[in-house]
């Protein structure tokens, strides 16, 4: 006799009930396992993200030095920073180099990604080659660019001299040093952003381009009317990522001046990150450096918010 011909009560007696312990483990797997799988990220973020933020915020309210001397200062460190000419000089340098480096970098990366998205021979090796500057040592990059921008025998001054331009001391003058460091940053990071843009372009349905071609749209119009609007989420990510990296610029200007955090003889290309490093590890004023780090954090938030709103407005959303 099959179970289908038995009464409902008889069928229930034939069912095998799970033991209470097994039901509890099954419920635990369904509800708790997802949290257990993502918990390593949150633990690492709490240890290396939230804790340093809270730690620097705490010590920014104290006069704290290497000897362990701790004295309550309240907002004294922040007040002193707002009246510190060196801090404001570093802030202007940081914002200027960020703008000089990031704006051209976004356009170059976007058009490079568009070129890499086309059908061509040896497409994979060419795409991989754009990441070579990123994997190159920062020290090696700094050595090469220091030679390129040397005052008396640098290649850049030689090329400019062909057009009648006098030799420029790229490390002694403020604006030229910004341009030299921004060039170094663009050389390293344009390929990285181009690959991210390329990944975003490959998610755009090809049907849209085929329909636009049937309607007579040129490749240029397809780029402006299809590619750019569909890339809006990718553009937001790249712009925010570049904002964080640009405002925390440290390695390139540091190595450009032979590892000295002064950023030139008059601080002409010292960034806020270099200022924090100098105050913490050379002047040993950890409270002052912590306050500067928090002001840098606020600067990043403001810059990221402005760029986010700007990119959304370009994409046509409000």
pLDDT for residue 193 is more than 80: yes
pLDDT at residue number 96: 94
Q: How confident is the model at residue 20 (pLDDT cuts 50, 70, 90)?
A: low
pLDDT for residue 69 is more than 80: no
In the chain, % of residues over pLDDT 90: 29
Helix axes 286-315, 232-247, angle to 10 degrees: 160
Write the pLDDT tens digit of every residue in 203-240.
888 888 888 888 888 888 888 888 888 888 898 889 88
Is the separation of the CB atoms in 136 and 187 below 8 Å?
no
Which ranges of the chain would DSSP assign to H, the alpha helix?
A: 8-14, 20-45, 51-59, 76-82, 85-116, 123-129, 132-135, 138-148, 155-161, 174-201, 206-214, 219-222, 228-230, 232-247, 251-256, 272-281, 286-315
- pLDDT (mean) for 173-194: 92
More confident position, 272 or 29: 272
How far apart are the C-alpha atoms of 250 and 274, rounded to whole Å? Answer: 6
User: What secondary structure does DSSP assign to 162-178, as a single string?
Assistant: TTTPPP--TTTSHHHHH
Is the separation of the CB atoms in 113 and 197 below 8 Å?
yes
More confident position, 121 or 78: 78
Mean pLDDT (the chain, rounded)? 84
What is 76-314's CATH superfamily? MetI-like (1.10.3720.10)
End-to-end CA distance of the chain: 68
pLDDT at residue number 277: 93
What b-and-e string marks burial along 197-221, b requiring 16 or more CB atoms within 10 Å of the CB?
Answer: bbebbeeeeeeebeebeeeebeeee
- pLDDT (mean) for 85-109: 93
pLDDT at residue number 8: 52
CA angle 104–107–109, rounded 5-degree value = 105
pLDDT at residue number 142: 85
How far apart are the C-alpha atoms of 115 and 194, rounded to whole Å? Answer: 10
CB atoms within 10 A of CB 163: 6
pLDDT for residue 3 is more than 50: no
What b-and-e string marks burial along 168-179, b requiring 16 or more CB atoms within 10 Å of the CB?
Answer: bebbebeebbbb
pLDDT at residue number 298: 92
- pLDDT (mean) for 76-85: 91
CA angle 94–99–102, rounded 5-degree value = 110
Write the pLDDT tens digit of every residue in 131-168.
888 888 888 888 889 889 988 888 999 898 888 888 88
pLDDT at residue number 24: 60
Closest of 298, 294, 318 to residue 308, by C-alpha = 318
More confident position, 254 or 73: 254
Q: How confident is the model at residue 1 (pLDDT cuts 50, 70, 90)?
A: very low
- pLDDT (mean) for 300-310: 86
More confident position, 63 or 19: 63
How far apart are the C-alpha atoms of 194 and 238, rounded to whole Å? Answer: 10
Write the pLDDT tens digit of every residue in 232-276.
889 888 988 999 999 999 988 998 888 888 888 888 999 999 999
How far apart are the C-alpha atoms of 39 and 32, rounded to whole Å? Answer: 11
pLDDT at residue number 259: 82
How far apart are the C-alpha atoms of 132 and 237, rounded to whole Å? Answer: 22
Domain boundaries, the chain: 76-314
pLDDT for residue 94 is more than 90: yes
- pLDDT (mean) for 180-196: 92
- pLDDT (mean) for 264-290: 90
Is the separation of the CB atoms in 238 and 268 below 8 Å?
no
How far apart are the C-alpha atoms of 245 and 273, rounded to whole Å? Answer: 11
pLDDT for residue 318 is more than 70: no
Helix axes 286-315, 85-116, angle to 10 degrees: 40
Q: How confident is the model at residue 26 (pLDDT cuts 50, 70, 90)?
A: low
In the chain, % of residues over pLDDT 70: 89
pLDDT at residue number 6: 47
């Amino acid at each position: 006799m099959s179970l289908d011909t038995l009464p409902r009560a008889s069928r229930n007696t034939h069912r095998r009930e799970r033991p209470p312990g097994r039901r509890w483990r099954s419920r635990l797997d369904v509800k708790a396992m997802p949290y257990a799988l993502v918990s390593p990220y949150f633990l690492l973020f709490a240890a290396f993200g939230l804790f340093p933020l809270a730690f620097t915020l705490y010590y920014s309210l104290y006069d704290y030095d290497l000897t362990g001397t701790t004295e309550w200062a309240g907002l004294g460190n922040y007040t002193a920073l707002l009246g510190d000419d060196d801090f404001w000089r570093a802030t202007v340098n940081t914002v200027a180099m960020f703008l000089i480096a990031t704006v051209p970098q976004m356009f170059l990366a976007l058009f490079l990604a568009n070129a890499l998205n086309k059908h061509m021979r040896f497409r994979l090796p060419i795409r991989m080659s754009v990441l070579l500057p990123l994997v190159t040592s920062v020290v090696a990059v700094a050595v090469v660019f220091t030679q390129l921008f040397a005052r008396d025998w640098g290649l850049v001054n030689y090329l400019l001299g062909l057009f009648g331009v006098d030799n420029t001391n790229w490390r002694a003058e403020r604006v030229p040093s910004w341009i030299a460091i921004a060039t170094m940053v663009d050389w390293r990071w344009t390929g990285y952003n181009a690959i991210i843009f390329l990944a975003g372009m490959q998610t755009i349905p090809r049907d849209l381009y085929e329909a636009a071609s049937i309607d007579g749209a040129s490749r240029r119009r397809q780029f402006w009317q299809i590619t750019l609007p569909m890339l809006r989420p990718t553009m937001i990510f790249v712009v925010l990522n570049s904002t964080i990296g640009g405002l925390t610029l440290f390695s390139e200007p540091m190595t450009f001046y032979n590892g000295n955090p002064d950023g030139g003889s008059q601080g002409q290309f010292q960034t806020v990150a270099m200022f924090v490093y100098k105050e913490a590890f050379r002047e040993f004023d950890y409270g002052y450096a912590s306050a500067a780090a928090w002001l840098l954090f606020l600067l990043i938030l403001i810059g990221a918010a402005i760029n986010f709103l700007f990119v959304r407005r370009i994409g046509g959303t409000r």
